Structure 1
Amino acid sequence: MTIISRLADSCLTVASEEGTTLFDPGFFTFDTDFVDLDDLGEVQRVLITHEHADHVKPEFVRWLIDRGEDVEIFGNRAVADLLRPHDIEVKVDNPDGVSHEDVLHGVLPNGMQPPNRSWTIDGVLTHPGDSHEPGTSAPILALPCMMPWGSMTGAVAFAKRLGPSQVIPIHDFYLSESGRQTVRHLAGGALKAAGIELIPLDWNDSYTV
């Protein structure tokens, strides 16, 4: 049994008998009151997609390390460079049961495209970070839906191209509750027509696979 939980925005946990993995410990989770981190169980490893602050906050990573035992941090070289001054070691390879695809971040308004790592864990979930470039997905795809580098239309097209069985919307913290509901309704309808189920998770919600 695998339990996928959403903390806030793009921060997810995947818990199984082998342990718990946390994706993208960004400031939306650490600096807001939407999530009570004291309720977060022990985390064995942290997978980070790229260096933007909404996906990795050094203080959050340090907090996870200090409260756990032998917590391992994984990311690309840009993430390793970001966290090195904080005396945090980042491994750039894959942990057991995890694969990755190195792609570019979606094009930002300033034209920049930082490196981005899409992670797939246990053949169950793919977290693409801030990119619609990855070419493969596990049966469940964490789908960025509302962001400055893309559109909902682009998100739907990305999911249709990869063809997962289910998607979990992420990267929608900027929206109000009614805005998130609207995105889920519109994207969910378009994806359903393609045989893809949308699984809506609010902050602190979980889904059992």
Structure 2
Amino acid sequence: MQLTKHAHACVTIEKDDTRLVIDPGTFTPDAADALAHADAALITHEHFDHFDEKLVDAQLTARPALEVYGTPAVVAALGGHNSRVHAVAAGDSFTIGSVTVTVHGHRHALIHTDIPCPNNVGYLLDDGALYHPGDAYFAPGVPVRTLLLPTSGPWTKLGDAADYVRSVKPERVIQIHELMLSELGQNSTANFLGAGGLTGTTVERLEPGTTVEL
């Protein structure tokens, strides 16, 4: 299985002949190209930095084979597209090509009591090979080999991120949702949380476009 890092929260996963895109949002300049080559898109929640509604809708129209999975709010925004847009919730499981997916979590992390918390789900691929939590530090309660760790945004806090990594106990951590940090901030965060910091696990910072083996 290979992971390609895109800007912010978006990643592409490839295994055999299957290609998935998770969270193609408006902060990801090459989201359209990523979706154009994907078998399916997995969307954690409806916030624009994770879900570019117009882009996904256009790709569904242009590509009759594309499937989309997301929360009920994502489904409502897109419509059915001949049953190719699927509502998911915690406890669901499904298979896309050669990749198995299970769904975990319920709610977006609290930003402020004045701001509603939408539904947010995390996606666990291939029995723990990779976990994308969306915008929540929700531990799926099963072994995770590679954790995608959000590190910036109005809801994040370094102490919470450290406790999250300690709770999940992944073998590998890759930083995502980092776009609101400068380069200095991203490196500082990786050091603060990483092998010599609070978690004892290296936090990898991948430049957009980088592909790694999982």
Aligned to 1:132: 137
Alignment root-mean-square deviation, CA: 2.4
Q: What is the aligned length? A: 202
Distance 2:132 2:191 in 1: 21
Aligned to 1:143: 149
Distance 2:72 2:35 in 1: 27
Aligned to 2:106: 103
Change (3 A) 1:64 1:95: farther
TM-score by length of 2: 0.84
- SS across alignment from 1:27: coil
TM-score by length of 1: 0.86
C-alpha deviation, 1:154, in angstroms: 0.7
1:58 aligns with 2:61: no
Aligned to 2:123: 119
C-alpha deviation, 1:192, in angstroms: 5.3
One of 185, 192, 201 as aligned partner of 2:206: 201
One of 165, 168, 179 as aligned partner of 1:162: 168
Change (3 A) 1:179 1:67: farther
C-alpha deviation, 1:133, in angstroms: 2.3
Distance 1:108 1:163 in 2: 25
Aligned to 1:3: 2
Distance 2:82 2:25 in 1: 18
Change (3 A) 1:122 1:191: farther
Distance 1:72 1:203 in 2: 24
Tell me the alpha carbon deviations over residues 9-55 of structure 1, each in whole angstroms, 9 at most, x when there is no partner: 000011010411100010001xx4xx485477720010000010000
Distance 1:162 1:39 in 2: 29
Aligned to 2:21: 22
- SS across alignment from 1:91: strand
Change (3 A) 1:191 1:21: farther
C-alpha deviation, 1:111, in angstroms: 4.5
Percent identity (aligned): 27
Distance 2:62 2:188 in 1: 38
Q: Is the 8 A contact 2:162 2:199 kept in 1?
A: no
In the alignment, structure 1 segments of 5+ residues that lack a partner are: none
Moved over 6 A (4+): 85-88
AA aligned opposite 1:176: S
